[in-house]
């Protein structure tokens, strides 16, 4: 639906919200499960006028927006795991998928976000119990999804329009695995190494076998 917005000349920032997402997906075509009336799943479209290499900051900007937006409404402070996971109590509560292509309006970008808000433990599949959680499971409270959504979008708009140069230090402040061993997927294979931070272009610096390499987040 978001890609159709470009065909219809919809303005930048057009938002699509699914109250119940049926076929959610994440990076590398992985499945993203959501619960009707409890999850927050949405996408919005961008028409950024910037160099392609700067777009690698977008996943980080999105993550910072989510953490700041959630904290503003709930007073719950989540963490970020490179490149696109939202973490609470060492479990995942959300993810980001950013896709782009060249279209008739120039560079066309869709930012897709899925967040677990009011799910109970019974809503989390058994195979994900040790990996996934929600704001409700962790806090015992229920939250207005609309308020969290508007807060995240306000944070995103402010950062996107005014604060690109602040994204790297903000993201690193929320990062949960600085100088910790991480396993990740890049160039169709898995890598393991010590996470050493983010470059100015948004790439991860990973120490592998005593050598520091950089890896893009991918979009």
Contact in structure between 57 and 68 (CB atoms under 8 Å):
no
Q: Could you report the per-residue pLDDT of 76-133, keeping only the tens digit for each? A: 999 999 888 999 999 999 999 999 888 888 889 999 999 999 999 999 988 989 999 9
Task: Please provide residue 45's backbone torsions phi and psi, each rounded to the nearest 5 degrees.
Answer: -105, 145
**Angle at the Cα of 90 (from 135 to 190), degrees rounded to 5?**
125
The predicted model scores a pTM of 0.91
**Tokens matching residue 24:** 């959610």
């Amino acid at each position: 639906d978001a890609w159709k917005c470009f065909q219809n000349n919809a303005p930048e920032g057009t938002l699509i919200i699914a109250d119940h997402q049926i076929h959610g997906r994440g990076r590398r075509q992985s499945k993203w499960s959501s619960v009707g009336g409890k999850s927050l799943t949405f996408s919005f479209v961008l028409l950024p006028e910037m160099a392609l290499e700067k777009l690698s900051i977008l996943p980080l900007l999105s993550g910072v927006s989510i953490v700041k937006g959630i904290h503003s409404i709930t007073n719950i402070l989540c963490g970020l795991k490179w490149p696109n996971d939202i973490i609470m109590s060492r479990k995942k509560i959300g993810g980001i998928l950013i896709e782009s292509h060249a279209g008739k309006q120039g560079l066309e970008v869709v930012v897709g976000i899925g967040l677990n808000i009011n799910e109970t433990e019974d809503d989390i599949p058994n195979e994900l119990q040790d990996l996934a959680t929600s704001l409700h499971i962790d806090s015992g409270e229920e939250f207005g999804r609309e308020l969290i959504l508007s807060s995240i979008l306000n944070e995103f708009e402010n950062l996107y329009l005014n604060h690109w140069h602040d994204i790297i230090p903000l993201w690193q402040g929320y990062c949960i695995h600085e100088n910790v061993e991480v396993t990740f997927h890049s160039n169709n294979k898995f890598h393991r190494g010590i996470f050493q931070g983010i470059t100015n272009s948004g790439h991860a610096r990973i120490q592998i076998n005593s050598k520091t390499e950089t890896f893009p987040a991918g979009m």
